[in-house]
Amino acid sequence: MLKIGLIGYGTVGRGVYERLEVSKASISAVLGEECHVEAILIKNEQKHRLLEKECLVTVDWAEFQQAGPFDLIFEAIGGLEPALTYTLAYLEKGIPVITANKKLVAEHGAKLEEVAESNQTYYGYEAAVAGGIPIINVLKGLLPTTGISRVSGILNGTTNYMLTEMIENHRSFAEVLIEAQELGYAEADPTDDVGGFDAWYKIRILSRLCFGQWPNTELFHCQGLTALEDWHAEVGERIGLKLKLIGEAHSINGHVHGSVAPAFLTKTEALASVSGVTNGVSLEGKDIKQLLFIGPGAGKEATANSMVEDFLFHRRYQGNRLSANVESIEEIPFRYSLVFIKQAERDTALQWVKEQFIQVNETYSHPEGEAWLVPSVYEVNAQFPSYHVYGEITSSYAEESSSAQLGTF
């Protein structure tokens, strides 16, 4: 009998408990032994006062520990503390921990993996990235020697839902943010989502799996949607581009660089079709060309499913992509950027391009201002919102741009 401890009984914790209960027979068939949740550590006793389970339910950390010894811990509370203290306590005892806590993994994953390895156990975090998409264990177990030069993705369902609604249904940023909160996609404080931090944690975790080391955060830029204005999305839509919040990391001559930022995608880009709350992850390399994974990025059932499958994966196969077969990208994946100039800023912007010898390839007009297509090699002044354009800009876009300048938005 495998004895399980569950830390946290919010949306994810409850999902894990339910998934374990309904899958008991299947888990027993896979592992050859049954599992049982021995204890649940909760934070709010009042909130769970009617919780009746065939196990210990407690707010007391010491009492929870005494309910062991456990064979496995599911950590489902989120945040850095006390999650870090709880996780270290069990890894140091050689007890495996499975988590969906992307912030903890991104900020302290190197230390936690080191502690797990030194105590001959494992730290599983499949559910920390892209919800129901099994990307972490694909990298660990199925592609351990596959060379990867670039990983990119739409890693935050909240912002992808918002951008999809803005583009496809012509709605304002403020309106779709309120709706996302009402639907439960965004928190009351949406900073982690809208500020890009949620995706920033996730691309750092993916980078570690793809390139064999935890990244230098100074080389991973984070830009959310805070500078986005409704007309930016309107211009992109008119010329056939999709606005997405993209997390990406690539290797150049042994150095790994990454970013999270809104970007425009041409129709030929694989991630351009990923809409709504769905997530997508793209892996690129010489041998695999491009692999695309699409699925639910969050939700109780999808996240709980990933945590339980992570547990089963590690029980059957303990793999670690510690020293990855890293490839350098052949060229930067974007050649152009769109720079947005308000009407009142046009004279300043014209002086800027003149002083910096910046070539403006195309101009797209809008009542609010203009969007200038410039080569991405140029450093864009921070006072002008700018977005990289992923994919090849062909003559068809130039033709569409001519129409766009004549039309009205």
Burial letters 267-295, b for 16+ CB under 10 A, else e:
eebbbbebbebbbbbbbbbeeeeebeebb
| Cβ partners under 8 Å of residue 327, min gap 6 | 147, 148, 149, 251, 285, 286
Residues 103-122, mean pLDDT to the nearest whole number: 96
Burial tier of 53 (Cβ tally within 10 Å: 0-12, 13-18, 19+): middle
For the purposes of burial, counting CB atoms within 10 Å of the CB of 368, is it exposed (0-12), middle (13-18) or buried (19 or more)? middle
What is the amino acid identity at position 208? R
Q: In whole angstroms, what separates CA 346 from the centre of its chain?
A: 36
Burial of 175 from C-beta contacts in 10 A (0-12 / 13-18 / 19+): middle
Q: What is the pLDDT of residues 201-232, one digit of tens each?
A: 999 999 999 998 999 999 999 999 998 999 99
Residue 46: count other Cβ atoms within 10 Å of its Cβ: 6
Q: Which of 13-17, 201-205, 254-258, 343-347 has the lowest mean pLDDT?
A: 254-258
Q: In a 3-state reduction of DSSP, which class is residue 185?
A: coil
Q: Any idea which residues carry the catalytic annotation?
A: 202
What is the model's pLDDT at position 327? 80
Separation CA 118–CA 73 (nearest Å): 18
Q: What is the pLDDT of residue 331?
A: 74
List all residues 6 or more positions away from 160 whose beta carbon is below 8 Å from its beta carbon: 154, 244, 245, 274, 275, 276, 277, 278, 279, 297
pLDDT band, residue 265 (cuts 50/70/90): very high
Quick one: pLDDT at residue 403?
43
The pLDDT mean for the chain works out to 89
Q: Which residue has the tokens 């596959």?
A: 146
* Domain architecture of the chain: domains with CATH: 2-124 (3.40.50.720), 135-296 (3.30.360.10), 334-406 (3.30.70)
The reported pTM is 0.91
Q: Cα-Cα-Cα-Cα dihedral of 153, 273, 278, 302, to 10°?
A: -90
Question: Over the stretch 26-71, which tens digit does the pLDDT of each residue have?
Answer: 999 999 999 999 999 998 776 655 566 788 999 999 999 999 899 9
The model's pLDDT over 289-332, given as tens digits with 9 standing for 90+, comes to 999 999 988 888 999 999 999 999 998 876 555 556 778 777 77
